[in-house]
Chain A
Amino acid sequence: MNAVTSCAKLHDCRDAFVTVLERLSADNPRIVAVCNDSVGSSKLGGFRARWPDRLVNVGIAEQNMVGVGAGLANGGLLPFVCGAACFLTGRSLEQIKADIAYSNANVKLIGISSGMAYGELGPTHHSIEDFAWTRVLPNLPVIAPCDSVETAAAVEWAAHYDGPVFLRLSRVGVPDLLPSGHTFELGKANLLRDGDAITLVANGTVTHRILKAADLLAAEGIEARVLNMATVRPLDLDAVVAAARETGAILTAEEHSTFGGLGSAVAELVVAEAPVPMKILGVPGIFAPTGSAEFLLDEFGMSPAAIAEAAVALIARKPSRA
Chain B
Amino acid sequence: MQPNDLDRIAQQIRLRDLQAVFEAGAGHIGGEMSAIDILTALYFRVLRIWPEQPKHPDRDRFVLSKGHVALALYVTLAKRGFIPEEEIGTFLKPHSRLNGHPNCTKVPGIETNTGPLGHGLPVAVGMAKAAKLTRAKYHTYALTGDGEMQEGSNWEAISSAAQFGLDNLTLIIDHNRFQQGAALKDTNNLAPFPAKLEAFGWDVTEINGNAMDEVVPALEKRGSRPHCIVAHTNKGHGISFMQDKVDWHHKVPNDEQYKIAVAELSEAL
| A71–B131 alpha-carbon span in the complex (Å) | 10
Q: Would you give the shortest CB distance from A211 to chain B, in whole angstroms?
A: 41
* A67 and B136 contact, Cβ closer than 8 Å, known pairs A72-B126, A74-B112: no
* A77 and B122 contact, Cβ closer than 8 Å, known pairs A68-B129, A71-B127: no
In the bound complex, residues from chain B placing their C-beta under 8 Å from that of A103 are: 104-105, 112-113
Contact with A along B144-169 (1 / 0, CB 8 A): 00000000110011011001000000
Chain A positions 58-86 with a Cβ under 8 Å from a chain B Cβ: 58-59, 61, 63-64, 66-77, 79
> By the criterion CB–CB under 8 Å, are A75 and B116 in contact?
no
Task: Give A101's nearest chain B residue, CB to CB.
Answer: B113
Task: Give B115's nearest chain A residue, CB to CB.
Answer: A98
In the bound complex, residues from chain A placing their C-beta under 8 Å from that of B103 are: 102
> By the criterion CB–CB under 8 Å, are A76 and B134 in contact?
yes
> By the criterion CB–CB under 8 Å, are B127 and A95 in contact?
no
In the bound complex, residues from chain A placing their C-beta under 8 Å from that of B119 are: 67, 94-95, 98-99
In the bound complex, residues from chain B placing their C-beta under 8 Å from that of A63 are: 118, 122, 152-153, 156
Contact with B along A22-48 (1 / 0, CB 8 A): 000000000010000000000000000
| A53–B157 alpha-carbon span in the complex (Å) | 19
> By the criterion CB–CB under 8 Å, are B133 and A71 in contact?
no
> By the criterion CB–CB under 8 Å, are A71 and B128 in contact?
yes
Task: Give A58's nearest chain B residue, CB to CB.
Answer: B160
Q: Would you give the shortest CB distance from B167 to chain A, in whole angstroms?
A: 16
| A58–B131 alpha-carbon span in the complex (Å) | 16
Q: Say whether B130 faces chain A, with CB atoms less than 8 Å apart.
A: yes
Task: Give B163's nearest chain A residue, CB to CB.
Answer: A59
Chain A positions 116-147 with a Cβ under 8 Å from a chain B Cβ: none
| A63–B118 alpha-carbon span in the complex (Å) | 9
* A102 and B116 contact, Cβ closer than 8 Å, known pairs A58-B160, A69-B126, A75-B127: no
* A68 and B57 contact, Cβ closer than 8 Å, known pairs A77-B134, A104-B105: no
Task: Give A68's nearest chain B residue, CB to CB.
Answer: B126
| A74–B136 alpha-carbon span in the complex (Å) | 12
Q: Say whether A253 faces chain B, with CB atoms less than 8 Å apart.
A: no
| A70–B112 alpha-carbon span in the complex (Å) | 8
Task: Give B128's nearest chain A residue, CB to CB.
Answer: A71
Task: Give B110's nearest chain A residue, CB to CB.
Answer: A103
Interface centre among A66, A68, A102, A103 (most CB of B within 10 A): A68
Contact with B along A280-293 (1 / 0, CB 8 A): 00000000000000
Q: Say whether A279 faces chain B, with CB atoms less than 8 Å apart.
A: no
> By the criterion CB–CB under 8 Å, are A53 and B133 in contact?
yes
Q: Say whether A11 faces chain B, with CB atoms less than 8 Å apart.
A: no
> By the criterion CB–CB under 8 Å, are B122 and A54 in contact?
no
* A59 and B160 contact, Cβ closer than 8 Å, known pairs A68-B122, A74-B112: yes
| A56–B133 alpha-carbon span in the complex (Å) | 10
- B112's partner among A32, A61, A76, A105 (CB-CB below 8 A) is A105
Q: Say whether B125 faces chain A, with CB atoms less than 8 Å apart.
A: yes
Task: Give A102's nearest chain B residue, CB to CB.
Answer: B113
In the bound complex, residues from chain B placing their C-beta under 8 Å from that of A68 are: 122-123, 125-126, 129, 157, 160
In the bound complex, residues from chain B placing their C-beta under 8 Å from that of A71 are: 112, 122-130, 140
In the bound complex, residues from chain B placing their C-beta under 8 Å from that of A104 are: 104-105
Q: Would you give the shortest CB distance from B63 to chain A, in whole angstroms?
A: 8
> By the criterion CB–CB under 8 Å, are B116 and A94 in contact?
yes
In the bound complex, residues from chain B placing their C-beta under 8 Å from that of A53 are: 133
Task: Give A75's nearest chain B residue, CB to CB.
Answer: B130
Task: Give B124's nearest chain A residue, CB to CB.
Answer: A71
| A59–B133 alpha-carbon span in the complex (Å) | 18
| A91–B57 alpha-carbon span in the complex (Å) | 31
Contact with A along B192-217 (1 / 0, CB 8 A): 00000000000000000000000000
Q: Would you give the shortest CB distance from A295 to chain B, in whole angstroms?
A: 36
| A145–B136 alpha-carbon span in the complex (Å) | 36
Task: Give B140's nearest chain A residue, CB to CB.
Answer: A71
> By the criterion CB–CB under 8 Å, are B130 and A64 in contact?
no
Q: Would you give the shortest CB distance from B117 to chain A, in whole angstroms?
A: 10
A-B residue pairs in contact (CB < 8 Å), sample of 16: A56-B129, A64-B153, A66-B122, A67-B121, A67-B122, A70-B112, A71-B112, A71-B123, A71-B127, A74-B112, A75-B61, A75-B129, A75-B131, A77-B133, A77-B134, A95-B122
Report A's interface with B, CB cutoff 8 A.
32, 53-54, 56, 58-59, 61, 63-64, 66-77, 79, 94-95, 98-99, 102-105
Report B's interface with A, CB cutoff 8 A.
57, 61, 103-105, 111-116, 118-119, 121-131, 133-134, 136, 140, 152-153, 156-157, 159-160, 163
Extra 14 A-B pairs, beta carbons < 8 Å, given A56-B129, A71-B112: A61-B153, A61-B159, A67-B125, A68-B123, A68-B126, A71-B126, A74-B126, A74-B130, A77-B133, A77-B134, A99-B123, A103-B113, A104-B104, A104-B105
